[in-house]
Amino acid sequence: MTLMALLGDYTLQNVALGALFLGLISGVLGSFAVLRKQSLLGDTLSHAALPGICLGFIVTGARHMGSLLLGALFTGTLAALLVMALTRYSRLKTDAALGIVLSTFFALGVVLLSYIQGTGNAAQGGLDAFLFGQAAATLRSDLWVMAAITAIALTLVGLCWKEFKLVCFDPGFASTQGLPVLLLETVLTVMIALAVVVGLQMVGVVLMAAMIIAPAVAARQWSRRLEVMVPLAAVFGMVAGLSGALASTLGRGLATGPLIIIVVSLLVLASLLFAPGRGLVWSWLLRLRQRRELHHQHVLTTLHRLASRHDDHAFYAEQGLLEGVHGTAVRPALKVLAQRGMVTLSTQASRQPRYWQLTLEGQQEAERILTALERGGANS
Amino acid sequence: MMAWLDDPGTVIMVVGALVGMASTLVGTFLVLRGTSMLADAISHSIVFGIVVVWLVAHVQSGPLQIFGAALTGILTVFLTQALIHSKRVKQDAAIGLVFPLLFSVGVLLLNLYAGNVHIDTHTVLLGEIGFVWLDTVTLGGVDVPQALLAMGGMTLINAVFVGLFFKELKLATFDEALARALGFAPGLLFYGLLFLTSGTAVAAFDAVGAVLFVAFVIVIPASAYLLTDSVVRMLGYGMVMSVVASVAGYALAVRWDVSIGGMMAVMTGIFLLLAFLIGPRHGVVAQVLVRRGQRGLNETRTLAVHLYNHEDSHAQQEENVVKALREHLHWSDGRARQVILRGLDQGYITQAGQMLNLTATGRALAMELLNAHERGR
């Protein structure tokens, strides 16, 4: 298939659109979850959606996107409230509460799923596809539901932007300003359940956790401003969704959900390594440069000390002596220092071994370093 | 003697109970350390390990498989720690980044080599404890189910580990700094614990899959934690709950014709709910009762002090009457009546018409409070 034929493909259009919606909503809402240190709530809520899907099916007896998602939203919200109740009214820690709700709700979903399969309802086919998602089976009608949910969530975020921002960064201050913090936090949590609902069709309940976390973490590396981070997370989410959906058309057995997760993980890795300012590569390079600079200063002060010990500012130090002090790494250091005009090789070029001498500039630089060192030592 | 091995139901229940026991042994310390979600991460990422071990060594059970696949669990923990140490990602987000990736790669490999691998993506998540008795190996002339051997072995190994390092584990769990200062290498111990958790997850994989395992490793110890403060008792309760969850889950699953593993995990959830609601001391109901009892005691004390203050004073006729409680202590009629009845019952006061008088014990109660107050100054 050529690219144009690929883009004209009806199923692929649906999958691509669905992936875009998923990336958009999970990137935006995930940003708030990650900033509020509630990343794993997405994991719990997505697992907790399974019994809801089954309940929706049992009640309506058909595979209607709307009713299934309503069920998922219901159990997802219930799960979020249970996590809050367990952490507030028992001595369990948050992570235990998350794990408990995640596994027991999922178990309930498994039981309901097996019950449905036992009843032999012909429409049940593909219900367990929600475990891993079933992007290829996305219908136009599903897309409308996903679009509506995304629109609702984005509108809410747009309307309550300032409030959400304050609740994320300083809930204490938010409540002194008279904001209903508990309500806002509940709304943010329920909206994560909304994002999960959109993702169920695309990536399934198990991998949804990564869609909440990964785009937000990647975007966080690039900016410290929420106004930049949230749109960027949405873009990362959409890029991952789209490329995962496209990549899955390349061959049989390439499931969309796992591919989307792999792409988004690569985005996170690239951001962690190369994001300007925060990127690990840049800080490694910076540390390397600093270490080298420190070594140069060491060599310079050694030469200076040797000179002052001999009361001869034009003292020639033998390279072997310097190597004895600093190791053979002194050779490149001397070369760099010579380029900067801090040291010079003995003018008698024929002399072997080599002898090094501080220039006037090098002498001043060494004195500057030593006085700075002394002052720092005195201060501390 | 080995006849029970031929009964599928018994084998299933025993395997279920062993999954619970082996998980409880390690899960207890994970829950106490506040690292429950690592168990969730591990149980997902061993899927990757199981597929890779199969593709490389073509084994799908036995010690080599458990050991090899369990390494992925350790890899997960290591990568998560590395992310946290980079200071670019918070702990919770780091966990949620690593395991979905490993899980995704595992599932993709599974799909690509579907013809060769014995597991399909469905069993990855759910396991199939209902079929564990089919896959047997011959041991000393007896056909023993593979899963029974694996889970029995893991239970034994975990028990030996916990038994040998019980003191060290306890110390490292409750006071990591002290454990480090005493030279117990809590980090190494922790990795050992997580390695055994991974091994248990691999061994339990065929039976309960990746997600239901989390119920056994977190929910059972968490329920036990709500019931007791002692680690030994936590482990003991966990064992009992494992057996009950397995037996009851199996019975209900057969009765309703639903997933056996799922039902066993649901049972653990019911235990947790019960412990949360009606557990002694820490349960919600117990807390409400304690609070109510304290409020009652407080009211009785207030009444006693009020009566004591005006005893033998000229205002006694005015203050120490039922009516005054409403005006001076701002109690409603109903509340005042309750407090008076309780005070009469407990022998702190006597009533003569409208007048309320302190008994000797009532006076002692008031003075005890007032003296404590004086000392407090």
Domain borders along chain B are 2-280, 285-376
Segment B301-351, tens digit of pLDDT: 888 888 888 887 777 777 788 777 777 778 888 888 888 888 888 888 888
Averaged confidence pLDDT in chain B: 86
Contacts of residue A334, defined as CB under 8 A and 6 or more positions apart, other chains included, come to A299, A319, A322, A343, A356
H or E element that contains B350: strand B349-352
Tokens of A61: 């007896």
Residue with tokens 């975007």: A219
Q: Do B34 and A257 touch (CB under 8 A)?
A: no
- The predicted structure's pLDDT at residue B243: 95
Query: Which of A82, A103, A287 best probes binding to B when mutated, by most B CB atoms within 10 angstroms?
Result: A103
- The predicted structure's pLDDT at residue A380: 46
Q: How many CB atoms sit inside 10 A of residue A58's CB?
A: 16
pLDDT at B123 over 70: no
Query: What one-letter code names the amino acid at B318?
Result: E
Q: Does A195 touch chain B (CB under 8 A)?
A: no
Alpha-carbon torsion angle B17, B23, B28, B30, nearest 10 = -160
Q: Are A34 and A93 in contact, with CB atoms under 8 Å apart?
A: no
First to last CA, chain A: 70
Architecture of domain A282-379: Orthogonal Bundle (1.10)
CATH entry 1.10.443.10 includes domain A3-275:
no
Name the fold adopted by B285-376: Arc Repressor Mutant, subunit A (1.10.10)
Q: Does B266 touch chain A (CB under 8 A)?
A: yes
Shortest Cα–Cα distance, A266 to chain B (Å): 9
- The predicted structure's pLDDT at residue A233: 95
φ and ψ at residue A54, rounded to 5 degrees: -65, -45
Beta-bridged to residue A357, according to DSSP, are: A344
Three-state SS string across A100-140, please?
Answer: HHHHHHHHHHHHHHHHHHHHCCHHHCCHHHHHCCCHHHCCH
Q: Are A262 and B104 in contact, with CB atoms under 8 Å apart?
A: yes
More confident residue, B91 or B3: B91
Q: Which of A111, A206, A221 sits opposite B125 (nearest CB)?
A: A206
pLDDT grade for B201, boundaries at 50, 70 and 90 = very high
Q: Do B266 and A253 touch (CB under 8 A)?
A: no
- The CATH superfamily of B2-280 is ABC transporter involved in vitamin B12 uptake, BtuC (1.10.3470.10)
Shortest Cα–Cα distance, A325 to chain B (Å): 34
The A residues from 230 to 259 touching B (CB cutoff 8 Å) are 253-255, 257-259
In whole angstroms, give the CA distance from residue A207 to residue A217.
16
Q: Do A131 and B225 touch (CB under 8 A)?
A: no
Which residues from B are below 8 Å from A128, CB to CB? Answer: 122
Q: Does A282-379 match A3-275 at the fold level?
A: no
Contacts of residue B114, defined as CB under 8 A and 6 or more positions apart, other chains included, come to A253, B120
- Angle at Cα B66 formed by Cα B61 and Cα B70, nearest 5°? 145
Q: Which letter does DSSP use for residue B219 in this model?
A: I
pLDDT at A209 over 50: yes
Helix A280-309 to helix A256-274 angle, to the nearest 10 degrees? 20
Give the start-to-end residue ranges of the domains of chain A: 3-275, 282-379
Q: How many CB atoms sit inside 10 A of residue A313's CB?
A: 12
Instruction: Kindly report the length of chain B.
Output: 377
The least confident of A98-112, A173-187, B124-138 is B124-138
Which residues from B are below 8 Å from A255, CB to CB? Answer: 107-108, 111
- The predicted structure's pLDDT at residue B311: 80
Overall pTM surpassing 0.80 (yes/no)? yes
Q: Are A306 and A324 in contact, with CB atoms under 8 Å apart?
A: no
Which residues from B are below 8 Å from A265, CB to CB? Answer: 97, 100-101, 104
First to last CA, chain B: 74
Segment A238-262, tens digit of pLDDT: 999 999 888 888 877 778 888 999 9
User: How would DSSP label each residue in B312-329?
Assistant: TSTTHHHHSBHHHHHHHS
